[in-house]
Amino acid sequence: MKSMSTPFSFLHHLTCARCHEIYEADTQAHLCQCGSPLLASYDLEAAREHLSKEMLREREPSLWRYHELLPVRSPENVVTLGEGMTPLLPLPRLGAQLDMPQLYVKDEGTIPTGSFKARGAAVGVSRAKELGVKTLAMPTNGNAGGAWATYAARAGLDTYIVMPEEAPLITRNECAISGAHLFLVQGLISDAGAIVGRAVKAHQWYDASTLKEPYRIEGKKTMGYEIAEQFNWQVPDVILYPTGGGVGIIGIYKALREMQALGWIGERLPRLVAVQAEECAPIVKAWQEGKTESVLWPHSRTIAFGINVPKALGDFLVLDAIRATQGCALAVSDTELLAAQAQLAQTEGLFICPEGAATLVAAKQLRASGWIKADERVVLLNTGSGIKYPNTVQVSVPLLQPQDELPVSIAG
Ligand SMILES: Cc1ncc(COP(=O)(O)O)c(C=O)c1O
Ligand SMILES: [Zn+2]
């Protein structure tokens, strides 16, 4: 009998997240006929036989350590800058102040391109390259554009990107330096999406919009695998996630279900919390009203630009994930999240992005209401580096002349 070698990926087919129609995985695919996102399905029984969590110990500290559970079939198509296995840091000083002694941050600020969007871009671009894509297009709130432009440059793909003119300036520069065709729109990400939608139709480009191709989420789900592995396969009690398009939280939930099927974690799941901004909280509103889908949020705005998404294509999946894990959704104000950003920098030396800071505000509120108990293990997902948002910090610094002494009083 011929011995079969273990495949690099156990990707099996694509499944519609709403009507469960099945699609073949090895051609370029976008939405289901019913208009909903397609999700990658793996042969998890075979994966369970061939792969054990112990085998991971020897592997490189990048998200590709989970390659059997990622969609890229052949290692030659992997486009990587070393993304993944970001630190899971305890926050002892802040945790003591807030009566959450087991408070942690999963810090995506250290990943290439400075945001967790690198995960989706690495896997999405690798798979696009594998499927023969030459040109891709996407709308973005900034970080995803920067990440996709970067990885597409490494893969030699041509990229068209449209972002709101108010998106963080640095993400514009990332796209430009990487040679992407960049356009700004006077409007929101939803307006950018409409422009991209017309262009992909007209030019037959690959539409890399959030959840309009099935593989970006596969990169993002690795945050879930990493959190479980970093806690030695004992999942935490609560994970708080800053939710815009929702891909991160849907991905983490998908990873949790896959890990259960693989026998890597037990029955108990962390309660997933979707955190939004008060002036852009469509998913929170839907959750409070017991709805299964959100309604477009008019005139949305927040300084946490990545979560300024007035209507997410995958809103029903976010709401599913929250409900299935007995989680919740809540909104926080810009004033509170800016204060939390400074508090984390001052107590723990972490300059996180405003989106990540929103999760700290939410954790405080949930601890105060008793929803989070003092003995619970709580993970804040910091989705990016504060360094990408220099303008969120207001500084007023004294200017000295070369002959001046430092105007400080030295005690004692
Ligand atoms: C820093 C940051 N955090 C969070 C998000 C929201 O991501 P998701 O689509 O996973 O909800 C974004 C999206 O642009 C982002 O840039
Ligand atoms: Zn469908």
The alpha carbon of 54 and the centre of ligand 1 are apart by a number of angstroms equal to 31
Residue given tokens 């992005």 in the structure block = 353
The alpha carbon of 250 and the centre of ligand 1 are apart by a number of angstroms equal to 12
Residue 309: the pLDDT is 94
Strand partners, 139: 162
pLDDT tens digit at each of 412 positions of the chain: 444 688 999 999 999 999 999 999 999 999 999 999 999 999 999 999 999 999 999 999 999 999 999 999 999 999 999 999 999 999 999 999 999 999 999 999 999 999 999 999 999 999 999 999 999 999 999 999 999 999 999 999 999 999 999 999 999 999 999 999 999 999 999 999 999 999 999 999 999 999 999 999 999 999 999 999 999 999 999 999 999 999 999 999 999 999 999 999 999 999 999 999 999 999 999 999 999 999 999 999 999 999 999 999 999 999 999 999 999 999 999 999 999 999 999 999 999 999 999 999 999 999 999 999 999 999 999 999 999 998 889 899 999 999 999 988 766 5
Query: Ligand 1 atom 7: the closest Cα is on which residue?
Result: 244
Residue 411: the pLDDT is 60
Taking the C-alpha atoms of residue 206 and residue 197, their distance in angstroms, rounded to an integer, is: 10
> In this structure, which ligand is nearest to the CA of 170?
1
Residue 3: the pLDDT is 47
The fold of the 88-114+217-392 domain, in CATH, is: Rossmann fold (3.40.50)
The alpha carbon of 121 and the centre of ligand 2 are apart by a number of angstroms equal to 24
Residue 5: the pLDDT is 82
Taking the C-alpha atoms of residue 13 and residue 126, their distance in angstroms, rounded to an integer, is: 17
Among the atoms of ligand 1, which is closest to the Cα of residue 117? Answer: 16
Residue 408: the pLDDT is 83
Query: Ligand 1 atom 15: the closest Cα is on which residue?
Result: 306
Distances (CA, A) of 270 to 68, 100, 102, 370: 24, 16, 14, 16
> In this structure, which ligand is nearest to the CA of 283?
1
Among the atoms of ligand 1, which is closest to the Cα of residue 244? Answer: 11
What DSSP string describes 270-310? PEEEEEEETTB-HHHHHHHTT-SS--PPTT---SSGGG--S
List residues near ligand 1 (CB under 6 A).
115, 117, 141, 143-144, 210, 242-248, 306-307, 353, 355, 383-384
Q: 240 is written with which tokens?
A: 């708080």
Look up the pTM and report it.
0.96
Query: Ligand 1 atom 5: the closest Cα is on which residue?
Result: 306
The alpha carbon of 248 and the centre of ligand 1 are apart by a number of angstroms equal to 7
Residue 223: the pLDDT is 98
Q: Give the pairing of strands 11-16 and 38-42.
A: antiparallel
Strand partners, 22: 15
